Amino acid sequence: MTSARDKRLRAEKLCYLTTYNAQGKPGTVEIWFLHHEGKVYIDTAVGALKVSKLRADPRASVAMGSRKGPVLSGTARFADEATVRRVAPLLNAKYDGAWGDDEEFIGRHLGTPTDVLLELTPK
């Protein structure tokens, strides 16, 4: 059975990702996301501040639809190749091919990546 929360996660186009700096201070950014099989996936550039913050502290949370929307908190990791190949096309489809061709989008995450796919596992 699909919960009301899961329905909302599928319907929302934006989430607010919160990560933490070395002093534990939170920072929040608005970003596109995909909710799939109980996890939240976010594509971002390798050099993004959120990436360096997550390398130091994997705690993260996402608020749905607005900064005060329902919040999912958990641990973020960088998706492995199998996950990228499985999830990147779904993320791209959600936003009507905003990243272009699926294979090109996947390629940006592999080899010498320009992008990373973040995978947030809620507690």
Q: What are phi and psi of 3, to 5 degrees?
A: -80, 165
**Which CATH number characterizes residue 91's domain?**
2.30.110.10
pLDDT tens-digit readout, 62-110: 999 889 888 999 999 999 999 999 999 999 999 999 999 999 999 999 9
Torsion (CA) 74, 78, 80, 83 in degrees, nearest 10:
50
pLDDT band at 1 (very low <50, low <70, confident <90, very high): very low
Q: Which domain holds residue 10?
A: 4-122
pLDDT band at 19 (very low <50, low <70, confident <90, very high): very high
Distance from the Cα of residue 104 to its chain's centroid = 19
Look at residue 100 in the predicted model and tell me its pLDDT.
93
Report the domain count for the chain: 1
| Model pTM score | 0.93
